[in-house]
Structure 1
Amino acid sequence: MDRAVDAANLGVAAAGDLSVWGLFMNASLMVKLVMLGLVFCSVMVWAIIFDKIVTLRRINKQASAFEDRFWSGGSLDDLYESDGAKPVHPLAAVFGAAMGEWRRSARIPGVDLVRGGVKERVDRAIGITVTREMDRLRRWVVFLATVGPVAPFVGLFGTVWGIMHSFSAIAAMHNTNLSVVAPGISEALFATAIGLLTAVPSYVAYNVISNSLDLFQDRLEGFGTEFAAILSRQSEERA
């Protein structure tokens, strides 16, 4: 009976040692630092994912609402005063940049809106605004691109270091029993597991978010092209 109780106690102790907290606490200092770094990167990855998902939903919703107002046939000057002068989303910023440039050119006395290089300035304003807005939206996405391929190797470094530490302990104890080897190996492999858990969401999120941003950039550029054509027609009508 005593032996059965002792065996049960040993099983509980072993299970406790192989828990997540036990694996972390029993790891060497270097492996702990690797684990903490990977956990920090994982928190950052999920924060970026959440932020980009919310942002993309918001700007697409705002863009759809703005396009409805734009194509409703209302006055472009009124739309500029309400949305373009102080834009709060990328599509309004593109509209505001183009409309602002066109209005400034129209105020210059004696300027030919058709031949005075107005179209080129409007196109340039649209291009610069699209680039600026997309750079702002892509902020921190490069972090996902970096963590995705790097995290598994960082975890592998922690694993190699942990295994080396375990082998050193085995050599010092002159004991190759599985009960001596297993805990150290488990702690080392835990670092690789954290690296994979950090890398997989980062890699998937980078591809999904990058594709969504590319589609939104196409949307901005398409709207800019259409609006530039509208302004060009209005310039020809005024000439």
Structure 2
Amino acid sequence: MRPVDLAREHGLSAQAVRNYEDAGVLPPAERGETGYRRYTPRHAEALRAFLALRRGHGHQRASEIMRATNRGDTESAYRLVDAAHVALLAERDTRAEVAAALGGLSTAAPEPVGAPLTVGELARRLGVHPATLRTWETAGILRPGRDRATGYRHYGPDLVRDAEIARQLRRGGHPLRQVARFLDALREAGGAEALRDFLDAWQRRLTARSRDLLAGAARLDAYLTLLDRS
């Protein structure tokens, strides 16, 4: 087969196929008497595997997997694939933690706050010790500003909201790490209602990525089977 024959199946250019070979994504092709590259069904299957892997792993990681496979280092290829699944599982767990925290969160609007509060004022409002707020700051839960004149911490409305949410979650038994993750997601989404939409979209992305990883693994397995028979 010519480069254009491999390219046509996927809507690629012939040059893209040649570039993939040069990058090690495809195994080296034999050359004809005229110097043109000759591709085989093995190259076609390698290209299918790479394009399928790329959807779930991204271009760079998919390239690394294919290079390892083509040089016979299947152990490295398996490790790269496994690492992607481990990372996806960790992200899935994080999303579940955030969803659980949101489910146990009071939807009642907090009492309004006027001027920024000091550590002591916020601690009294929450019914906690000032040292607790400093611990939350160390954990990344709260990020107070500082008064330019005194250097003292101060907490505006958004931080008071975050502190009240943190109190609810801590009372619900959530560890500091989970509380920090939840508030990071809440800030990124822009509020509790937006966070629910954010979580739904996040779940859809996780599902799509899982399917893409499975499809890539299936294509890689087909390519490995072909190599075993060669």
Q: TM-score, normalised by structure 2?
A: 0.37
User: Based on CA coordinates, which of the two structures has the bigger radius of gyration?
Assistant: 1
The structure that is helix-richer by fraction is 1
Greater relative contact order (Cα < 8 A, sep 6+):
1
